[in-house]
Each structure stands twice: as C-alpha cells, then as structure tokens.
Amino acid sequence: MKVIQEIKALRRELDPFTDREVGLVPTMGYLHRGHMSLVSAAVNENDRSVVSIFVNPTQFAPNEDLDRYPRDMERDCRLLEAAGVDFVFAPDVREIYPSGFATRISQEILGDHLCGRRRPHHFSGVLTVVAKLLGICHPDRVYFGGKDAQQAVMVSRMIRDLNMDVEMRILPIVRDADGLALSSRNQYLNPRERELALALPRALNAAGKRVKAGERDAGALIREIKEGIARVPGVALEYVELVKLDDLQPVSEVDPGNTLVAAAVRVGATRLIDNFIAGE
C-alpha cells in the first residue's frame, strides 16, 4: 500500500489510460467498521482501490468540531493495509485548497431540509471536495455510507447533474451490537452519553416497526419519534423529518421504499444522526 500526499503523484499511479478499474472511498479518517465495509467493497469490486483521508475544512462551520475532529493516521493506515487497499490519498489542506481557490459547488433544494437546514454551508463543502476527489482519481466506482443519507443523495444528484462518469455505491449503515450507528464522532461520548445516545436508534426502530405494521401518516411517525427521544432526559432532538428519497422534500405520507426517515440529536456536546428508509 502506498500513502500519497500529492495529487500529481496519485495521478501518476492511477494512469487513466489503462482499463483497470478504480474504486474510491472518500473519508475523513478515524476509520471504523462502517468505513471498512466501504473499503472492503471497493477492494473486492475494483482492480485498484484508493481511500482518501482528508478532514475537509470547508464542510465545517467556524463553531463546529474541525479542530477536535478525531485523527489517527497510523491506525487508519494499519487497517487499510490489512484490508488490501492499494493507495491512501492523504493530502494536506493546501494541496486541496491552494491559495486562490475560488470555486464551490452548490445545489438547490436538496439541502433545504434535514442537516442542510441546520448546517447551511456543510453540503457545499462536501460536494466541492467530493467533486475534486472524483476529478483527481477518476474512479469507476465511489463508495458512500447510508448513515449520511442526505450526503449520499446530494452527491448522487451532483454526479447525475454534472454528468460525472462514475458509479455511486451506497452501502447500508453499520451499527454496534446495541444499535448505535457507527460514527467517528461516537468517540466524543462518555459512557453515560453513549448509553443515552441509544434513544435515537430506539426511537427510529420503534417508528420503523409502526411503518411495517401499516402506519403511513408522517405526522404520527414524527410524534412517535419525538416522544421516544423526549423520554430520555439528556438527549435533545434537533430534527426529525420524513422526506422523499430522491429530492429530500418533506412528505405527509410514507411511500414504502421511497421515504427517508431521518433525525439528529445532541447528547452533551455531540451531534448524532441516524435514519432508515421506511418500509425497507
């Protein structure tokens, strides 16, 4: 496995004139089993795999956790090497955003709800860096996790809208045995907060069961999730919304397989998100 910091050097390795297929997993590092499920798909489904590790400053607001975002490059590289990855691309900020960098990708409508409403500049930072990584690596396939559902839908729309020649693979959420969705930010939680955080998957799970039992009313499901979270003091609901999967606009009725139920909570200083697709 080669660890590469420079765009030029990575491009030399990924000679576009060969027919060997390339899979890219964009990450911000501090890898967990969720990332590793994407990595193993990328390794298995392509001739060459690239994992990028870049804590992207443009997707953090000034009051967010950019400085304390967890980093452990050595451990990440050990995991990636053991998984059979060919290249780790770990550029520094100046390599990705040289002085004079002036372009940002923005997207209409899809960022209006869910996390986009609460983190207004976040997704333009994500789309911009993902577009750059796709431009740098020219992968045949790019891999995203379903936990960041809004991110996955918005990236997939960018790929479609900008005719980017890449197949997007979105893989299921990976959870701990108790149901908490894996996230690099889980490590901010102390043991008590870690326990409280389970209110989120439990409330979503209860709502999922109601959908399976035939409930279709979005308002009723939102109430159920709000009540589930409110029963656990110490967990503050930021939002819960039911939206159409393709344009992320709110719905009043569940359309099984096409409705995303997504929520965000704060436990202490930590913000956690989770979701499910109703009826799946």
**In the complex, least distance from residue 35 CB atom to ligand PAF, rounded to whole angstroms:** 8
Question: Given the complex with ligand PAF, which of 184 and 259 has the nearer CB atom?
Answer: 184
Question: Given the complex with ligand PAF, which of 151 and 275 has the nearer CB atom?
Answer: 151
**In the complex, least distance from residue 144 CB atom to ligand PAF, rounded to whole angstroms:** 7
Binding site for ligand PAF (CB under 6 A): 26-28, 56, 59, 126, 129-130, 148, 151
**In the complex, least distance from residue 210 CB atom to ligand PAF, rounded to whole angstroms:** 29
**Nearest-angstrom CA–CA distance, 80 and 59:** 24
Question: Given the complex with ligand PAF, which of 123 and 276 has the nearer CB atom?
Answer: 123
Do 196 and 235 meet the contact criterion of CB atoms below 8 Å apart?
A: yes
Q: Which of 105, 164, 170 is nearest to 135 (CA)?
A: 164
Question: Given the complex with ligand PAF, which of 40 and 56 has the nearer CB atom?
Answer: 56
Catalytic residue among 35, 121, 122, 138: 35
**In the complex, least distance from residue 262 CB atom to ligand PAF, rounded to whole angstroms:** 15
In sign, the C-alpha dihedral spanning 129, 133, 138, 141 is negative
35 labelled catalytic:
yes
Do 69 and 93 meet the contact criterion of CB atoms below 8 Å apart?
A: no
Do 67 and 41 meet the contact criterion of CB atoms below 8 Å apart?
A: no
Q: Which of 28, 78, 30 is nearest to 55 (CA)?
A: 28
Contacting residues for 11 by C-beta, under 8 A, at least 6 apart: 136
The catalytic residue positions are 35
